[in-house]
Amino acid sequence: MVNNRALGIVALLAVGAWIASSSLYVVTEKQRAIKLRFGEVVQSDIEPGLHVKWPVLNTVRFFDARVQMLESTESRFLTARRNALIVDSYVKWQVVDPSLYYQSTRGEVSRAEDLIAPRVDESLRNAFGSREVDKIISEERNEMLEEPQEQLDERLREEVGVAILDIRLKRVELPQEVQQAVFQRMRTERNAEARQYRAQGQEQAERIRARADRERQVTLADARKKAETLRGEGDAKAAEIYASAYTQDQDFFNFYRSLQAYRNSFDKGDDMLLLSPDSEFFRYFRSPTGEASSNDE
């Protein structure tokens, strides 16, 4: 009797545990969830926390609410001038409407990516096809992607229940078969620009040299003019001093001038003068005072 009662209690506890485990479920902050009744959605976008459902009647589907990233395969796009570009891109997306997401994809990430990828490819082709290469590879690249991202986000929210958060390009380059031709053309253009800059630099250098030479000649001419003026003023001042000294002591002045003449005349050791000994030039050799001796007379 006791054993039957114990078995009954254990059975009741087991049934209660099963009912509790089947009736309670937890939605975390990283998840979005919907409640189904025989496959039909009866409650969508269940908030995080502990919730209750009917066992057997209800089932709960959980979806990852974190940001997902879809990397595209290498694609070949054409620009406005029919130039081919090899493009690698990626898309960031997130589930925002769990009910619509379940109805569109049955909650499978692979099916969601199969719906997102072709739409992204189409939008990028349209964006590339309306722009030139220089615009695509310039700083306008991010602006170019804003419009496709906004349009895809609005469209996929309504069709699939996901938000397109961002579209980015990982790689944009020319096909291998045209890279060499493009590089050669770019090299030729850069060389032409370099020659033009060098020619302009040489022209400017010539103008600068000509201006510097002209300024040099003007500066030298002004300096010579000023030097001649100062030299003339000095000579006039010297003559004035000589004249003043001459009037004060004529004999000393004659003696001093004769000494200068002797110094200038016999400056070199091999100089030779053919003069008469009694010449006036040698008067101070004969007498310090310069007076004529009795023999001269």
DSSP annotation string for 150-207: HHHHHHHHHHTSEEEEEEEEEEEE--HHHHHHHHHHHHHHHHHHHHHHHHHHHHHHHH
Distance CA 101, CA 90 (A): 21
Give residue-wise pLDDT tens across range 191-205: 989 999 999 999 899
Residues 168 and 77 in one domain: yes
The larger pLDDT score, comparing residue 107 to residue 133, is at: 107
The answer, as to whether pTM is greater than 0.75, is no
User: Which of 150, 174, 198 delimits the end of a domain?
Assistant: 174
User: Which of 225, 242, 263 delimits the end of a domain?
Assistant: 225
Q: How far is CA 218 from the centre of its chain?
A: 45
Burial label for 133, CB within 10 Å (0-12, 13-18, 19+), is middle
Distance CA 104, CA 72 (A): 21
Structural domain boundaries, residue 42: 4-64
Residues 215 and 162 in one domain: no
Task: Supply the pLDDT for residue 295.
Answer: 46
Residues 87 and 102 in one domain: yes
Retrieve residue 276's tokens.
Answer: 């008469």
Of the pLDDT bands very low, low, confident and very high (cuts 50, 70, 90), residue 163 is: very high
Task: Supply the pLDDT for residue 9.
Answer: 64
Q: Of how many residues is the chain composed?
A: 297
Give residue-wise pLDDT tens across range 98-114: 888 988 888 888 899 99
Cβ-count burial 26-51 (b if 16+ within 10 Å, e if not): ebeeebbbbbbeeeeeebbbbeeeeb
Of the pLDDT bands very low, low, confident and very high (cuts 50, 70, 90), residue 242 is: confident
User: Which of 48, 64, 80 delimits the end of a domain?
Assistant: 64
Residues 156 and 85 in one domain: yes
Distance CA 141, CA 167 (A): 11
Report the domain count for the chain.
3
Residues 102 and 129 in one domain: yes
Residue 257 resides in a domain: no
CATH of the domain at 145: 3.30.479.30
Task: Supply the pLDDT for residue 212.
Answer: 92
CA trace torsion 158, 124, 134, 178 (10° rounding)? 180
Q: Within a 10 A sphere around the Cβ of 85, how many other Cβ atoms?
A: 20
Residues 136 and 184 in one domain: no
Residue 89 resides in a domain: yes
Residues 45 and 78 in one domain: no
Looking at every residue in the chain, the average pLDDT score rounds to: 79
- Mean pLDDT to the nearest integer, 167-194: 80
